[in-house]
Structure 1
Amino acid sequence: MRRSHDVSADTRTRILDAAEELFAEAGYNGTSTAGIAKRAKVPKGLVFHYFPQKIDVLTTLIHERTFVEEVSDAETVHGDPADALSGLARRFPLRASPAMRRILFREADTHGSARERLRRVNAEVVRRARSALELTLPGSRGDAARLEAAAATFATVLLYQEGLQHLTGQHVDPDAVAELIVHALGA
């Protein structure tokens, strides 16, 4: 016999799973709570039992199903500057399903929790890129403004790539971008 806690957790998970699918397909505004309930196979009132407002479903998805991985600089840096940036691109710090990535990028303009999560991703990529450049370009710390601009440019391209890939399937080669940035720095 299943305990009521297990049933509650299963129901809540089914609601979140349904919302994730629907928000990724149709967007937050294009999804109704009735649609979430139908997809989750629960009464509409049960959606409101767990999530008093539809925005609470979105916020919960973002907080529980996306994660910004933070690592030490030593884990991110090796080789020459372009290789270090390329390695960073391969270890992009956003941990989320493809559906959640699509939701984040789609909803960032209108929902603060999505915007804040992407802001944290951007800040982590800039931090890692700046640190990688500082550690692989001896004597570069004296030119902090150029390093910050290079790191911000690299982060912008990576975030643009994430959004572009989910919307169009196109891909920007991060290795080529890393080479361009390092070349622009004169390294």
Structure 2
Amino acid sequence: MKRTRWQAHTKQRQEQGLTKDDSAKERILLAAEELFAESGFDATPTSRIAERAGVPKGLVHYYFRRKPDLLSALVVRLPEAQIEPSEVVVPGDIAGSLRKLVAELDRRLDASRMLSHLLWREADTHRDVRDALHQRFDSLVRQVRSVIVAATGGRLERADVDSASGLLARAVSYRHSVARHSDDDPPGELERELDFIAAALTRP
């Protein structure tokens, strides 16, 4: 990860209100996020986190007894993924409703692309992170299902809705798991998939 990119990322976080005057715990979390992304979790000692955060090493262990506790805390920092169906549903338009849902999920991801990618990368070796991301995936499936049901008035077969919800949730989760910067997603990403799902659900 190039340092210049992380400088831009840090500036973005500062523009969101995370300045040098924030609490020591906040500085520790921001430093951990940056360093884990730069060097990986296992290769980052807590001493480097303390140095980057500008705090004594003992303070890192005061807030986070074990280094994996930092990862668990970073999961909590992911943007809230729950979206009310009323915010995105276009009655009678499945594709339009799902398109608005995906756009809103992507908008929230934009505030934490590096963090999202970091956590998905570390999920392979850290069960707490993996479990937390699985819970977010299950929540995403329920969101997609609720949007489809609301857009169609609940007139579709439950099995079809469940299949469509799982497929779209997996597609969105995959994109978010590999997200690094805005250039990763070409224009119109998922457009064909959304149209295909809508057509499959509404076919005679």
Q: Please confirm whether the aligned pair reaches a TM-score higher than 0.5, indicating the same fold.
A: yes
User: Which of 12, 21, 24 is residue 11 of structure 1 equivalent to?
Assistant: 24
Q: How many equivalent residue pairs?
A: 179
Give, in whole Å, the separation in 2 of the partners of 1:22 and 1:69.
25
Sequence identity percentage: 34
**Is 1:162–2:184 an aligned residue pair?**
no
- Cα offsets for 1:46-73 (capped at 9, x unmatched): 222222211122222222x124332333
**Structure 1 residues 57 and 103, CA, compared in 2 at 3 Å: closer, same or farther?**
same
Contact 2:79/2:112 (CA < 8 Å) preserved in 1?
A: no
Give, in whole Å, the separation in 2 of the partners of 1:139 and 1:42.
55
- The one-letter code matched in structure 2 to 1:147 is V
Task: Give me the TM-score of the superposition, normalised by structure 1.
Answer: 0.81
Give, in whole Å, the separation in 2 of the partners of 1:36 and 1:108.
20
Give, in whole Å, the separation in 2 of the partners of 1:162 and 1:148.
21
In structure 2, runs of 5+ residues without a counterpart are 1-20
Give, in whole Å, the separation in 2 of the partners of 1:139 and 1:40.
51
**Structure 1 residues 68 and 126, CA, compared in 2 at 3 Å: closer, same or farther?**
same
The residue number in structure 1 matching 2:195 is 179
The residue number in structure 2 matching 1:147 is 161
- The one-letter code matched in structure 2 to 1:13 is E
User: Any residues of structure 2 matched to 1:1-187 within 5 Å, and which?
Assistant: 10-63=23-76, 65-79=77-91, 80-92=93-105, 97-137=112-152, 140-141=155-156, 143-166=157-180, 169-171=183-185, 173-187=189-203
- The one-letter code matched in structure 1 to 2:146 is S
C-alpha displacement of 1:167? 8.2
